[in-house]
Amino acid sequence: MSAKKTAAPKPHKTKTRAKKPATKKKEEKQSIQPRLAKVTVNIGVGEAGEKLKKAESVLEGVTKQKPIQTLSKTTNKDWGLRKFMPIGCKVTLRKKVAETFLKNALKIRENKISEYSFDNQGNFSFGVPDHTLFEGQKYDPNIGIFGMDICVTVENPGYRIKHRRIDRRKIPHRHELSREQTMKFITEKFNVEVVE
């Protein structure tokens, strides 16, 4: 009887995987550029009446848009506030109008913003103490002087999902704008110096 010949075991081939180039997701994340979503300009008066009308005229003169009234959310007897009582006015600016207004407002602040003005969600705010510091605005003794708060919202593309009416969703943490990214964007886009 002839012995069966057994085939020699084949040497085990180890697969060497070549390093893949950076995935599309990583490339897209690096190429995403934040953008200026809106600029909200607010004047708080604390009471309705003639003073609020003056504030509205000042805000319309500065922004070239008609303001809307802001209403009190609570009742406070010490301050003489009732719920839903008009206590101020605001204007929301977008796109090129917002950029132009923000550049003018930052000139008043000598292109400097404090570090504590930024939050962790892509927003920052600062104040302008006197509306007559804007170009074309003059002091009127019948109106007086009004200061204003300017709140700026910076967003990544894709933030529409948290505002849309149908199938609204939250922004995932990986897509949110950090404080450092907002500072970098403002520094590069508007030549702003962030002061500690």
Q: CATH number, domain at 47? A: 3.30.1440.10
91 is a domain residue: yes
Tell me the per-residue pLDDT of 61-119, one tens digit each, with 9 for 90 and over.
888 889 888 888 888 787 777 888 888 889 999 989 999 999 888 888 888 888 888 88
How far the first Cα of the chain sits from its last, in Å, is 94
27 is a domain residue: no
Strands (E) across the chain are located at 35-44, 68-71, 86-93, 112-114, 123-128, 148-155, 193-195
Tell me the per-residue pLDDT of 167-183, one tens digit each, with 9 for 90 and over.
888 877 777 788 888 88
183 is a domain residue: yes
- Tell me how many domains the chain contains: 1
Domain limits for position 156: 33-195
Entry pTM: 0.73
